[in-house]
Structure 1
């Protein structure tokens, strides 16, 4: 059952108790993320249809109870042959464990516990629910001191067939009411009788009736009186003893008439004015179960002449004797005297026998902790004591297995033959690791943490998986259903990263051969090659990759499509724009920076380059234009913006581009010179530039101007033609022609 999931939501963790009818487990409610207690019926009851029907009805009836001192019922279900009840989980101890540890309890603590039990019974009785099995084992004490009564309605679910087969009445015989022991119908007052025994045991540490067998204990409930609790524990106030005496009357009519009445008595019994009240007195004349002396009955033979017609009559020995003859007058007294002497002698022998048996020597209880159970048993037998068998098996982290670490009595004097209860260390009961595969990592961590495993001892191990989605738990280490110690175990959760993937390489700008090699190196497949024109990439270069971009995670073997450039679209125009530049002042050098934009860069500025010049000249900027993609050239001199020249597609197509004027240049005055002879005016021939001159963006290199530098008073006509195409660095072919007039 441990590790099993009931109803699809209750993960069974460990067994925490059980009785003759059911086993109790601690489980985790996955849906509501809380611990619950689950009571599962034993296998011998699962095929009794009447039992199952009444069990469900009583469980549903118990679920109707809502009281702070009643364990709440959450759910009732069935899974194949497993019938179970889900109830509130109370973290703490049951009253039986507390009594064993430190009985007798303090009077005020005992009365407080009994009051809460009585309050729960009053609520149940008002809802027509009779418990029928009130005992310390069914009383839970939480860590906050709250009392919780459990097992409501279970005892009533036993069928008549079950009772006949077992030959006994279901329940705990030490807490039976007399009417319960008779097997007759039990009611509310039976629960109050059992509660009186529980209070008796809390205050004295012993049970009122003990015997060698369940039948002998049941007969004592019917016939014998118990030892009054104050004779065992003189610290009990008379008012509290009166509560016990009244609740444990054999005649139900002499007990409390309701749980509410008993609760009122419990709530006031410790008041100062009640502590020394008189002892309660009860009359036993009407008690049918008390021991009585009944006159003996014997047959009397009548004469033949009697009016009875010779019938045999029965009469009491106390009736007047018939007339006898003189010879028998002294015979009867002698007979009675003889019988009396015999009875007296027999009684004296019985008294002597019981005195000899009851007069038992007291011995000191030795300390047998720290040794094995067999050795402890031998030590107790040496002094005339007996070890209770089997011993109490309980885990203690500081004690080895089969070593005695606790005994019920120690350092005290007891009668010879007394049974000593020994607690022996046992191996720690380890829970089994649940199967969390298929759950998300967060849900798996919550479930393991609910079992007591610290979160810092739950590790994540990501791995690729073809069967589990990303983030789902594949398996765990240790494996599911393996036993583990929550205080020391480290759990590794193997978590799926999804299917194994490859990072997609970037193919843009590669040739077909280069792209195919990169795809195959990544473990992918080149599926298809398509073509498209491109302003950005030269002919034969990859312009687009599909269906994954650079850096995407791609499953191995995925098919990839690439697009190769066929060059510029047919409607594109290539144009070399002449940019006239001059230094800031004649005779000085200036740095010229040119920025351009055209169809190749979607209108975004690109650096053409910088030049250091010492004289006026023209620089060529190659542009590519399209119907909806114009160009633009901006000029900076010595870090300052000079001008932006727009170049439209329409103007280039119509050969209507306006050539810009040279920038303004500051004239430096010439020094005064006394001429010795008339100056000779030099003749300057036009300087013809070779193809490609004026290209590039080298810094610090003065290039010759396109055309010529005219002499004073001459006219200049510049003709620029576009020939070829350029790139982002301004490279291209330009031709210039000059005429001197």
Structure 2
């Protein structure tokens, strides 16, 4: 059942309990996303139509109850041969577990629990529902302390046959009311009697009636008195003991008349003015055991009747026996009669003597039950009886093999010597055959073992890795399939597969397809599906993604590992070369240029870096996509000087704008003056001479501002005389570069 989705809605999570009639599972209501408890009818009852009808009817009646102290029933249904009831799931323990763990409970706690049970019973009784099975096992205590009564109405669905088969009454007989034990109709007061026993057990840690068998316990409910609670636990207040005494009266008329009355008594019994109240005194119960008159027998024909002895009748017989014989006169015929009688007496004596020679003596049959067969035969033969050669041999629960469990003539019977006695001897216990559970899931195996009446606490399970058996299936079993075993004493051992031992899955991304497949196979896994997908970041032919086993996760050998491999750039991607013009701060001086760009392959990627002293064109390779444009940022001497955007649409249409850049500054040169000014000519001459000396080849490093040198011959000559050579070769080259870049001076 574990993992099964009942009715397509309730997913079974785990088994949480069970009884003689049903198993209880924790499940998840997929539709409402909540935990529920599901009670599933045991398989042996699924063909009992009468039971199923009552089971469903009573469950539906219980579903009509709506009370905070009653476990709510949500649904009743059937799927194939599975009959189930869906009810509220309570997180906590049942009262039986709490009693075992820490009874006797504190008085106030026990009274609080009993009060809430009373409240639930009062609600049920007002709805004409009798519980009939109040016991600690059916009382749930939530983690918040809330008491919940469960299994309303289910007891009514149990037939007498079912009780015998399942043994459910054996577990409940300690809480029977006297009328329940008699087998008569039970009512509200029967539930209150059971509640009194539950309260007794909570406060004393023991049951009021115990016995060797369910019948002996039931008889004690009918005939015997229990030890009063305060005799067992003196800490119990008298007021609380009074509640127990009144609820457990054998006569229903002396109990509380309703659950409401008992609840009111519980709510007030711990008040200061009631704790030490007088002990309740009850009149003698008419149902108690009485001394009955002696029984005598009288015979009429072939029948014997038992009648009570009548003293008056005895007196009458006495009077008759006292008749006055003195009035009778002996006459002559009397003598004749006497002689005849004497003769007859002598004759009778002779007959008796002869008869005694052939008469068989009477013997009393001894008790041989519980004796071994050999001892029983010997005992009967010593008593002068004959043992029938045909011995009845059957398995008898409670008797060892070879022990007599019955005899044809009961102990104490008077029979003739030599009478034949037939013995019934306990035979070997019929064994169950172990079903095949190897290869099955655990829940399937448990169901098969349950049919063989193997209790859960005699099933041991272990887990181990196995390369050939899937996880969750049974590898081996003990006893073996078909082997006979005693389900009451044999421990069934099951070994469950954990599947193949796991391995750590490495990171396969950025491996080539062949490398990744080889790695998967080396780990004992199989290569599953291999898909292709475009990628801007992963090179064509290399792995982009792996699943279901992620990097560094434990993987199960024998399973599949799937891959996604890069098919390269998407077909819509465009490779575009963007030519970036760069220039130094001043022509001829060195500047460090650094390029940073972004495109479909990533943001802020480092481009080329170089040192320049003149204007240059640096190509930048961009990959553009419809959703990813490009950008190029220029840094000169560590400072950002320009950012260019390259749009996908422009690159596709060939309309990317040509970048413009501010030309570098011209080198510093002497400024020429008017030819009529002598001083200016002389300064020009001196400057030209100094520059000429610095260069050594007559070339100047600077440039003068743009002037009309053709009109100023004096200045020009002065420059020439000083070896400055105003416009030399270097000047010409600079002008050519400016022209080539598309700039103007």
TM-score by length of 2: 0.48
TM-score by length of 1: 0.48
Structure number with the bigger relative contact order (C-alpha 8 A, sep ≥ 6) is: 1
Q: Which has the higher helix share?
A: 2
